[in-house]
Amino acid sequence: MSDVLLEVKNLKKYYNVSSGVLHAVDDVSFNLNRGETLGIVGESGCGKSTLGKTILRLVNPTSGEVNFEGQNIASMDLKEFNKMRPQIQMIFQDPMSALNPRMSIKQQIEEPLLIYNLIPDKTERANRVLELMDTVGLARRYAEMYPHELDGGRRQRIGIARGLALNPKLIVCDEPVSALDVLIQAQILNLLQDLQKEKGLTYMFITHDLSVVKHISNNICVMYLGQIVEMCPTKELFEKTLHPYTKALLSAIPVPSLKNRRERILLKGELTSPINPEDKCRFAPRCLYATEQCFKTCPSLQDMGGGHVVACHRVKELNNL
Ligand code: SF4
């Protein structure tokens, strides 16, 4: 069995809009190994959530491949893909809007089991719901309650229980902790890590906040306006940051000690339009180091060794490599 669970190759998702073609995801490629976590990081509008939805076929890709266990699910007939869907699940950002306010906690967790008729026997199914509540640390006394009666952390635990109900191999976590306060964030991240160890789960973790994925990702992929600009093992990204955009994102993370405080890099300049983008570095209008070449050609990803790839014309010069 190959170590690679998910292989994304030249994936594109374009939308026709009144003023042209919006390049939401533009030629994205990466591999994700079994039992590992890939953090997908970028500002709002960088295409990270569309990437997750395209992989899950919640939106259909424009072109490219999404190979899950060696099968290209991007080109699969939807009927055929639906048979595989239990293996790929999603945890959403806002548990309140992802849950049905008129269904009890027990019914919400039971729903995916009913849809896929995974456990036809009613008693066995009820036991599985309670087991899932135990797994995600939700006390059984909440089973008959409704989402509005619980706090944000507990509601997200329901989302995780629903995600786990069908025994998936891959879970796409779309900003699962961004609506929660810091203490609850840590509890949910710890829970996701424990579940990964216990069940060998593979995560694609989408977030705007680099500090959230620092401790849980094996690799991080930084996206800017639909494209990957830097991707490497997590430790390397924090210790040997190469792309000017990633450096700006890192500088925004608060550091508790005065000694290690970095200077905040403020990004100025206009955002490039993702509609009919020109052949140039999309970060150029906001980049402190942009030259004429940056406005003339789009940099492709360069292999810097050790699994580190960067899309910047000046990467060697700027980092003394
Ligand atoms: Fe900045 Fe040019 Fe590198 Fe783009 S290619 S990140 S504009 S230096």
Give the DSSP letter string of 63-85. Answer: EEEEEETTEETTSS-HHHHHHHG
What pLDDT, on the 0 to 100 scale, is given for residue 253? 84
What pLDDT, on the 0 to 100 scale, is given for residue 192? 96
pLDDT-derived band at 119 (thresholds 50, 70, 90) equals very high
Is the predicted pLDDT of residue 250 greater than 80, yes or no? yes
Q: How is residue 300 annotated by DSSP?
A: P
In this structure, which residue's CA is closest to atom 5 in ligand 1?
Answer: 312
> Which positions ≥6 away from 152 have C-beta within 8 Å?
95, 96, 179, 180, 181, 184
Distance CA 47, CA 228 (A): 10
Distance CA 91, CA 107 (A): 17
Q: Which residue intervals of the chain are DSSP H helices?
A: 48-55, 78-84, 95-98, 105-115, 122-135, 152-164, 182-199, 210-214, 234-239, 244-251, 315-318
Residue 118 in tokens: 């995974």
The predicted model gives 164-193 an average pLDDT of 93
| Count of CB atoms situated within 10 Å of the CB of 60 | 11
pLDDT-derived band at 260 (thresholds 50, 70, 90) equals low
**Look-up of token digits 């906690």:** 105
Atom of ligand 1 nearest to the CA of 318: 8
What pLDDT, on the 0 to 100 scale, is given for residue 96? 78
pTM for the structure as a whole: 0.94
Span from the CA of 193 to the centroid of ligand 1 (angstroms): 35
φ/ψ of 74, rounded to 5, equals -70, -30
Strand 20-33 relative to strand 71-72: parallel, antiparallel, unpaired?
unpaired
The predicted model gives 52-76 an average pLDDT of 95
Atom of ligand 1 nearest to the CA of 315: 3
Residues with C-beta less than 6 Å from any ligand 1 atom: 244, 281, 283-284, 287, 289-290, 294, 299, 312-314
Distance CA 195, CA 193 (A): 5
- How distant, in Å, are the alpha carbons of 37, 46, 147, 284 from that of 109? 24, 32, 12, 46
What pLDDT, on the 0 to 100 scale, is given for residue 189? 94
Distance CA 151, CA 37 (A): 27
Mutate to test the pocket of ligand 1, among 225, 245, 289 (most ligand atoms within 8 A of CB): 289
What pLDDT, on the 0 to 100 scale, is given for residue 258? 65
Mutate to test the pocket of ligand 1, among 283, 286, 304 (most ligand atoms within 8 A of CB): 283
Q: Which of 3-12, 44-53, 163-172, 174-183 has the lowest mean pLDDT?
A: 174-183
pLDDT-derived band at 259 (thresholds 50, 70, 90) equals low
pLDDT averaged over every residue in the chain? 94
